[in-house]
Every structure is written in C-alpha cells, then in structure tokens.
Structure 1
C-alpha cells in the first residue's frame, strides 16, 4: 500500500517468487483500518458501525427501564465504548469527525432512554434525563494525551515518527490538522512545541490533562 495525498496513487510492483503482490487502498492491521490517503475517516466510521451493532446486541439490557440509568451507563462504558474508542490514540479528530462521534454518543443516549426522533427533544434535554453530560470526546482526548506523553518521553522511533519532518514542498490549500495540534488546543498548551516540551514533566502533563477533562472540553 502507498500512503499519499495524491488522488491518483502511483502503482507499485513488488514480486515475491514471481508472484506480484496486490496493491490495496485499505487493509486492517491489529484491528484498525489503514487507508492509503492517510486519513482515519474510514476507521472511525467502522468503529461507529461496530459499536452500534454491539449496542443492538445488548439492547435488552441497555434499554431496560427496570435497570437504573446509572447501571446501564456503566454497562455502556464497559462493553460498548471500548469498541468505539479502540485505537483512538492515533486518531486526528477533525470538526467533521467530532460531530460524527458526538452524534453517536447521543444515538446511544436516546436509545437507552427510548426517546424517538419524533419526540423532538433537544440533546440537552436528553442528557439531563440521562443524568450525564457529553463525555466521549473528552475521554478520547484524555487517552490520546496520556499515550502521546508516553511516546514523547520514550524518545524512540515512535517519537521520531510523530515529530519528524518530511522533505518536499507543502501542498496547496489548507493543511491537514495534526494530532499534536488538536491536543495542544484541547490542553490549552499554546503551540505544538510547547505541548511537546510539557510532556517531559510527567506531573505537569498529568495536571494539564486533568484540568482539560475537568473543563469538559
């Protein structure tokens, strides 16, 4: 597979014992879907679909009003959210991706409370009835920040891959948002380099993460 921003990918011919390997646009590696465009849109869509499928399998429990909403929320966090957030440490969360994830979170809440779309209840009303707030994006960002801090302090190959620069010219138009840029914004850490520097102090980094989670951003 060739990872490139170009719409037309270059053809690569690799042979093993006279047999040409098939070039792929996507493939699954360790449970995550890798795409040739370098984006995680397909992976996020796949995770959302799998989480909804497993929610339906547990529907008799998660939508049972004889069970307290607190217990059902715990079941959701234990069995469904790990499926949704698997591999999220490597996601770049664009505004579009965030909207999809937040919509999925509300999809869970509405079905747990058996609220039909025809009821025309606002998301705020649904969250109030569920005795909770929006937590999914904050959970994902926390996992990303914790993992990122670990990678930066190791100063191994993963560090180089995350912070390294590629030779060549920048493409035209708006540049893609990087993982560290999204984290720096969430942590209110200023520029990316300031966030990277902050990871060296484990206690300071943990405090920044805790403050960001507390703010509910």
Structure 2
C-alpha cells in the first residue's frame, strides 16, 4: 500500500484510510495472490529439507487413507498455478532456490491459474 501512497504523494502522516487510497487509484486488493505466493515459498522451504514435514507433504508416510472423497491437495493447486506438470518436477525445481523463486515471480507477474 505504501507505493500507492507514494505515487499519489500522500504523506505517511496524513490520516487516510487504505480504502480511500485504493479508490483514488482505481485498484482492488488481491489477497489470493499473497496467499499463493506465501504457500509457494513455504512449500519450497519445506521441500529443501528432509524432515517430517517433507514426508507429510509428499504423502510418503505410513498409514491408511481415510474414507470418502479425496480432498484437493495443496500441491496440486500449486502445480497448476505455477504451470508445472507433475509433483516430482516441482520438487526438483525447489532444490534450486533461484529457479524456484523465478517461477514464483513469473506466476505472480502473469497471474496464471
């Protein structure tokens, strides 16, 4: 929000609501993009470490599957948003930090998914 205030030359001491700044610039908030970006960065952080979170996220833990309809996995949503074909390909890309960050930035820029 600070960049919009800066563009409109509104000082930080002025008591303007964020909604008024958004209405002046004719823009809308997009919280889904922030959520997707944070999910992707957290996923990359988990996949670079070989711990229990990695096993749970990839589904490689022992036990039985619950009954009923399968829920949509977070990893499937990330794969479709980033435009990656498979889970294995996505995990390989998380190993290279610069490539992963570039993919996230590209998805944020082009708004895929």
**In the aligned structure 1, how far is the partner of 2:28 from the partner of 2:66?**
40
Give TM-score scaled by structure 2 length.
0.70
Which residue of 1 is the match for residue 64 of structure 2?
168
**In the aligned structure 1, how far is the partner of 2:66 from the partner of 2:49?**
29
Deviation readout 1:118-164 (Å, 9 max, x if unpaired): xxxxxxxxx77553244211111111111110110011121112113
In terms of fraction of residues, the more strand-rich structure is: 1
Give TM-score scaled by structure 1 length.
0.39
Task: Give secondary structure in 2 for the equivalent of 1:161.
Answer: helix
2:49 is equivalent to residue 154 of structure 1: yes
Q: Answer whether contact 1:187 1:208 (CA < 8 A) is retained.
A: yes
**In the aligned structure 2, how far is the partner of 1:168 from the partner of 1:208?**
34
Task: Give secondary structure in 1 for the equivalent of 2:89.
Answer: helix
Q: Answer whether contact 1:135 1:216 (CA < 8 A) is retained.
A: no
Which residue of 1 is the match for residue 11 of structure 2?
none
Larger radius of gyration: 1
Which among 13, 32, 37 is matched to residue 137 of structure 1?
Answer: 32
For structure 2, list consecutive stretches of 5 or more residues without a partner in the other structure. 1-14
**In the aligned structure 2, how far is the partner of 1:155 from the partner of 1:143?**
20
1:216 offset after TM fit, Å?
A: 2.9
For structure 1, list consecutive stretches of 5 or more residues without a partner in the other structure. 1-65, 74-111, 114-126
**In the aligned structure 2, how far is the partner of 1:213 from the partner of 1:151?**
20
